[in-house]
Amino acid sequence: MSDLFESVRRAIAKQQNGQANGGIDRRSFVKLAGIGGSGLLLAAMAPKVLSATDGSPAEDTLLVSAELNAFVKIATDGKITIYSSNAEMGQGIKTALPMVIAEELGAKWEDVVVVQSPIDEARFGRHGAGGSTTVNRTFDQMRTMGASAREMFIGAGALVMEVPREELTAANSRVTHVSGQFRTFAQLATLAAQQEVPDPDALVFKERQDYTIIGSAVSGVDNLAITSGLALFGIDTRVPDMLYAAYHKCPAIGGRVVSANIDEIKRLPGVVDAFVVKGNGDVRELLDGIAIVGTNTHAVFSAKRKLKVKWDESQASKDSWSAMAARAQSLKGRRGSEEGLVKGDVDSVFADKNNTTLEAFYEYPFVAHLCMEPMNCTGHYRKAGSKANPGTKDELELWIPTQAPTRAYGPAKSLFGLEPEQIKVHQMRLGGSFGRRVYNEYVCEVTEISKRMEAPVKLTWTREDDIHHDFFRVGGFQSVKGSVDNKGKLVAFENHHMGMQTNGKPVVGSGFRPVEFPLQNIDNALVTHTMFDIATPCGPWRAPQSNTNAFVVQSFLDELAHASKRDYAKFLLEILGEPRWFEPGNIRSLNTGRAADVINLAVEKSGWGRAMPKGSGLGLAFFFSHAAHVAEVAHVSVDKNKKLRVHKVTVAVDVGPIINMSGATSQVEGAVIDGLSTMMAQKITMEKGRIQQSNFHDYTVLRMPAAPKVDIHFIQSDHAPTGLGEPALPPLAPAIGNAIFAATGHRVRKMPLSEEGYS
């Protein structure tokens, strides 16, 4: 071992001597270069040798660890730390993205420890996660980080072993010479951090056939901690001297506090304080409410149930689902006033007596996110000049389960006058989200409460709060009409989309994009819109827009195919036409060839077309969303009492190369189960602006015995990898609806299925 240490010393001296003789130093190089296409400065790749743990000079002490770039730190005991910089909410990126780094680095996965990174966009790039974009957005960045560190190890190995670097390879956490001589990453860590940062444009990435980590099935890095109860979600946060809080808002969105029994609440056991908060009227920031602060969560929840508040609801929501449904019925069969897509002449096609023309009306409800972990945040507002903050500027520290940690900066500035440098955000693991935790109202609430209390505070919402004050998946209605000619070809399609808007702007998820279906290939198409004004807050919900539009279009196309006595798979393939990109050069656009491939694969693997017993049926649906091509076939049975059993769902997916087969499988299985649970019985209604549902007793979820078998088939195409958190959900509802028709002859045009009499 002493010979190795001596060789490392000589190599370091040689490296330092070369720099002293006029070579460009690392820091200067870092300032000049950038990672091509990633938007992250090369400063993220700057290496750093870390001092020994006892603080002693490193002259005769092996250094504990070395940072080769922002994401990779390797210790002299062989442990490889890889930072994960994006929010983990169950979609698996905390495991998948470090796998990409480890692959290019040449690490042995067993040596890797994954750590959630600090919030620092100058170092790590964008921290947010959403829209199933994270893998596609960061794949090249992760490859660059891994390959850069690998080349630095190879450079160190060449110096130590005194061989040409071209004769070295990095694999299994070691650098190996063609002769069989090798040095481990642990042995080379100190010297590797002394190497020049490689030019990103000169890096060569691994070929797919050489992958040993990417494409394998790797257990989630937090799975053991989660199953043993040791994982720390936002709701698990504990800080010294922490108080606990609850916040009560008007049941009708936008109501303002007139009076409340504050004095009575303050006298309750465990309550430290209670007070009225005047908000800024922005539902995404801070609404009026009553804050209750105490020594534990139970105390403040108990006190919250005893609140008596008089509200001014003159400016509050008056939304009524029953009124929306009645208005939509009155518009059935009519066209909207706002045009979307106009192609050809649908009227002449509909008037042609040689064509078969059908009409249908679809309804889908508002739904809640129903995260298993209710909204929560811990915050500590430290006023300038206080004991906790002797400085000259206020400070805010936040522990947030959020999809977008830096979004907290905006309201912190507008509400509290804080600049980003005055805020420290800790990214906590999310107990569910799929769009819910992109907003910051619970962060604003805890900040206001902590500022008033001058103490750290953990705010936790009740389940009722979580449902009543969600940003819902928007409900809506669609009146559709279509024609097939005497050869069974789709020749016209019309959609009157009835969506929702607030302050004249469509709410998130309320839209109709013909490009997602392939209605662009139809000669005669017309899309019109009617927008209903609402005050109910809506937001992204797993596969926004696609989760409802797929139900409508794929159900109705199946109906048209049946009317023309066509096999639905062949009908869909005909609509797709020849293989082509709808937006050439855009990997995130629909490709009809990839669409046809997943349809054919789902048909093959499901046994599509086989004879089915009475009361059983198969249903097919395809949908393109979030850069993914997905086809699904559902196998269902329905008894005489309309009891539905989904036996199996066959799924074919093309999202490019799969990074973590275990994580990808989990995402597809979860999407199918989530889609079925939502389709079966979930519905949010509101009257006089008040949400009618409150907890699991009246907003039910699928139980384990009802979960279907999910048979998944991935097409490992050569296209760039894209995300998988959302796109397997949209085809599920129409596949089941079409299967119900095949089994019973009844067309499902309304969700949830419970309102159609199914259980």
* Nearest Cα residue to 188 out of 84, 300, 106: 106
The fold of the 234-315+370-468 domain, in CATH, is Aldehyde Oxidoreductase; domain 4 (3.30.365)
Sheet holding 182-184: strands in order across?
Answer: 168-171, 174-177, 182-184
Ramachandran region, residue 585 (left: φ > 0; alpha: ψ -120 to 50; beta: rest): left
Question: Which residues lie across from 498 on neighbouring strands?
Answer: 477, 530
**C-alpha 295: how far from chain center:** 34
Measured CA to CA in angstroms, residue 732 lies from 28, 556, 653, 729 at distances of 54, 14, 13, 6
Q: In the CATH scheme, what architecture does the domain 547-756 have?
A: 2-Layer Sandwich (3.30)
> Are the C-beta atoms of residues 736 and 617 closer than 8 Å to each other?
no
Q: What angle do CA 233, 238, 240 make, to 5 degrees?
A: 160
- pLDDT at residue 22 in the model: 36
Stretch 700-713: mean pLDDT: 95
Number of Cα atoms under 13 Å in the Cβ half of residue 594: 25
Q: In the CATH scheme, what architecture does the domain 2-222 have?
A: 2-Layer Sandwich (3.30)
Domain ranges for the chain:
2-222, 234-315+370-468, 547-756
Cα(271)–Cα(268) distance, integer angstroms: 6
Sign, CA torsion 518/520/524/529: positive
Question: Which residues lie across from 360 on neighbouring strands?
Answer: 480
Asked if residue 678 has pLDDT above 50, the reply is: yes
Q: What is the pLDDT of residues 571-618, one digit of tens each?
A: 999 999 999 998 888 888 999 999 999 999 999 999 999 999 999 999
> Are the C-beta atoms of residues 286 and 379 closer than 8 Å to each other?
no
**The residue type at 655:** V
Sheet holding 709-714: strands in order across?
Answer: 616-625, 628-638, 644-654, 709-714
pTM of structure: 0.90
Does residue 534 or residue 225 have the better pLDDT?
Answer: 534
Q: What is the pLDDT of residues 456-481, one digit of tens each?
A: 999 999 999 999 999 999 999 999 99
Here the tokens at position 171 are: 């694999």
Other CB atoms within 10 A of residue 387 CB: 8
**The residue type at 232:** L
Cα(84)–Cα(106) distance, integer angstroms: 18
Tell me what the pLDDT averaged over the chain comes to.
91
Cα(265)–Cα(292) distance, integer angstroms: 8
Q: Residues for the chain: how many in total? A: 759
Say whether 547-756 and 2-222 share the same fold.
yes
Asked if residue 292 has pLDDT above 70, the reply is: yes
Question: Which residues lie across from 343 on neighbouring strands?
Answer: 525
Asked if residue 33 has pLDDT above 70, the reply is: no
Sign, CA torsion 577/582/585/590: negative
Cα(449)–Cα(443) distance, integer angstroms: 10
